[in-house]
Amino acid sequence: MRALIVDDSRFVRDYLRGLLEEKGIECDEAADGQAGLTRIHDSEEFDLALLDWNMPVMGGLDMLKNLRAEGYHEVKVMMVTTEAENDFILRALDAGADEYLMKPFDSEALSEKLAMLGLEEI
């Protein structure tokens, strides 16, 4: 299984990668929505994309909208948000997000959400 982590914070990318790889999920990263889209265009299929909300160049919501508009429906999208962005979750779900994860989170919280998507393998 492959996941794409899109977040402008290196810290968050490293943290997420650590947790996901522990669970046997292969990871790729991008630092903004634009780069995230490019990754998806260029690479083999991703099963999951974890998108930060607020990023330079292109935010997570726009990346999600673009992704769905371009016909990538099979990629599961999990919005990774902070409390401040929580009010917007409904809009993300409207735009085609599958799940959301609130920062800060730990391994357990991530597992729960992955399980909701039917993705956790271990």
Residue 30, SS3 per DSSP: strand
The number of residues that bind another protein (CB under 8 A) is: 33
Comparing CB distances to another protein, the nearer of 54 and 73 is: 54
Residue 77 is a binding residue for another protein (CB under 8 A): no
> What are the residue ranges of helices labelled H in the chain?
10-22, 33-42, 60-69, 89-95, 107-116
Interacting residue with another protein among 70, 104, 107, 112 (CB under 8 A): 104
Interacting residue with another protein among 34, 109, 111, 120 (CB under 8 A): 34
Residue 62 is a binding residue for another protein (CB under 8 A): yes
Comparing CB distances to another protein, the nearer of 69 and 84 is: 84
Q: Which long-range contacts (CB under 8 A, 24 or more apart) does 24-29 make?
A: 24/121, 24/122, 25/1, 25/121, 26/1, 26/2, 27/2, 27/3, 28/2, 28/3, 28/4, 29/4, 29/5
Residue 54 is a binding residue for another protein (CB under 8 A): yes
Residues that bind another protein (CB under 8 A): 8-12, 14-15, 18, 30-32, 34-35, 38-39, 53-59, 61-62, 82, 84-85, 87-88, 91, 103-105
